[in-house]
Chains A and B, each alone.
Chain A
Amino acid sequence: MDAIVFASVTKTFPMNAQRMLARGYLAKWLKRGSRERFVALRNISFRIPRGQTVGVVGVNGAGKSTLLSLVAGLCPPDEGAVTVRGRVSPLLQLGAGFHSDLTGTENVHLNAALLGFTPEKTAESFDQIVEFSGIGPFIDQPARTYSSGMTMRLAFSIAIHGDPDVLIIDEVLAVGDQAFQVKCMDKIQQFRKQGKTLLFVSHSTGAVQKLCERALWLDRGELMMDGNAADVAAAYEDGARVNVGTP
């Protein structure tokens, strides 16, 4: 059973989205909608079976974040279809659901609710979340006093305690210290053993090889390569444009 399926997915964004003033609307109306669009992903297809750990590599602007947003259900594709089965927990940006004036405890409740926890589930896993994050007495301090590492620890800890079927991680782990990264890696390994799916974006090909069995290489919105993590990492580092069919 596949956890994530992309079938010929294309995603575009409007150019100059902010310049939609009265003048812009008038021009659009006169030209009958011939506005330029930026193609973030072009005709992407792949399937990820349940329990696979997949890395996504590519230079800045290659479309990695757009791909993760589609998986997280934050936006619909323009063409094609995205199918995701199970509960998704996205960690797309450091402290996205955090409010700097709220304390750690309040932020845990807010983020748990945002991720779809029930109140019972939050109460039940609260101690584990704090324990795993290892931020100790800072849990009663406002989040503005946290370092980026501490914010990430708490955010990661909440995300994994939501018992997701699919975990999406966008580069955020990089800000953790060595000890916490090791802890995260352990947790992710445990996660894999439970047959859960992980989608992981990183600029570090080392981390991708260590963690993932498979990798996708995106470049300017196109899927350059899809295959064994070590092969993809090597090809990406060489900048070689090897086209390998889906395994």
Chain B
Amino acid sequence: MWRGDYFYLLRNLVLKDFRTRYRNMSLGLLWSLVNPLVMMTMMTFVFTKIFPLTAISKFPVFVLCGLVPFNFFSLAWANGTTSIIDNAQLIKRVPVPRETLPIASVLGNAVHLTIQVVLLLVIALAFGTGVNRYWLWLPVLWACELVFVIGCALLCGALDVYVRDMRYVVESACMVLFWLVPIFYDISRVRPQYADIYQYNPIAALVLALRNIILEGKPPRAVLLSKLFLVSFFMLLLGWSVFRRLSRRFYDYL
């Protein structure tokens, strides 16, 4: 039906999200730096002064390796989930390819991710971790997370049209995930019988791989990487096929 320029459309949708979000704020883009810095400082304070976790060195870097992927995931997932309903006017009046809306919403958040990744790397260098050749894995890891989030956004964005409670489900899931991703604790403290839960959680896998690379200067384990890869692409496939099926009836339910 629609035979336009897909990338031009995506670019314009991302720009729209971006401009409308920041136009009226005096700090603008700096906000994406403020949030992780505040969280990093707070957690470092709590977990080195109040509940000291002495085994972990360079705690700010450690915690940021967890916060940056988690923040991106939770924000992009939540925004992607509401993207169809937020753009109901567009869906009902313009024959735009519907999958571009959740994708654009995730890509808009990826701009913040880029800024936060730079912050993470700068702080890591400031703590003297140094650059190593395994840093070449980093773009691959972030790409996996992006693929995974787009899958989640497509799936939940489509479901949100029919079951409007979806956004609260996503919100609660993010709360649970905050504790189930090793953001401020070390995976080695998790007993082996519970560790299986972490195996297939791509966000946890990403955090672990990041710490391997940045803090320990080791390559991430091949098993971990292949699982991350598989789960991410499976999610994209699932999200895409569910979205394809459900989007035919969006008009009737919006």
Interface, chain A (partner B; CB < 8 A): 13-14, 17-18, 20, 69, 72-76, 87-88, 90, 92-93, 96-97, 99, 101-102, 106, 109-110, 113-119, 122
- A106: chain B residues within 8 A (beta carbon): 15-16, 19
Which residue of the partner chain A has the closest CB to B253?
A17
- B4: chain A residues within 8 A (beta carbon): 113-118
Query: Quick check: B5 and A74 within 8 Å, CB to CB?
Result: no
Q: Out of A75, A97, A122, name the residue touching B251 (CB < 8 Å).
A: A75
Main secondary structure of the interface of B (DSSP, over half): helix
Tell me whether B1 is interfacial, beta carbon within 8 Å. Answer: yes
CB distance from B78 to the nearest CB of A (A): 20
Query: Quick check: A14 and B253 within 8 Å, CB to CB?
Result: yes
CA distance A119 to B9 in the complex (A): 9
Category for how many chain B residues contact A:
20 to 34
Besides the contacts A73-B2, A75-B250, A110-B15, what 13 more A-B pairs have beta carbons closer than 8 Å?
A74-B93, A92-B94, A93-B89, A96-B92, A99-B20, A102-B16, A109-B12, A110-B13, A113-B8, A113-B9, A114-B4, A116-B5, A119-B5
Known: A20-B163, A69-B251, A101-B19. A74 touches B12 (CB 8 A): no
Known: A99-B20, A101-B20. A114 touches B253 (CB 8 A): no
Query: Quick check: A74 and B95 within 8 Å, CB to CB?
Result: yes
Which residue of the partner chain A has the closest CB to B95?
A73
CB distance from A85 to the nearest CB of B (A): 12
Known: A13-B252, A76-B248, A102-B16. A96 touches B89 (CB 8 A): yes
CB distance from A165 to the nearest CB of B (A): 11
Query: Quick check: B8 and A119 within 8 Å, CB to CB?
Result: yes
CA distance A190 to B15 in the complex (A): 35
Query: Quick check: B8 and A97 within 8 Å, CB to CB?
Result: no
Q: Out of B19, B20, B93, B164, name the residue touching A93 (CB < 8 Å).
A: B93
Query: Quick check: A97 and B90 within 8 Å, CB to CB?
Result: yes
CA distance A97 to B94 in the complex (A): 7
Query: Quick check: B20 and A113 within 8 Å, CB to CB?
Result: no
- B16: chain A residues within 8 A (beta carbon): 99, 102, 106, 110
Which residue of the partner chain A has the closest CB to B93?
A96
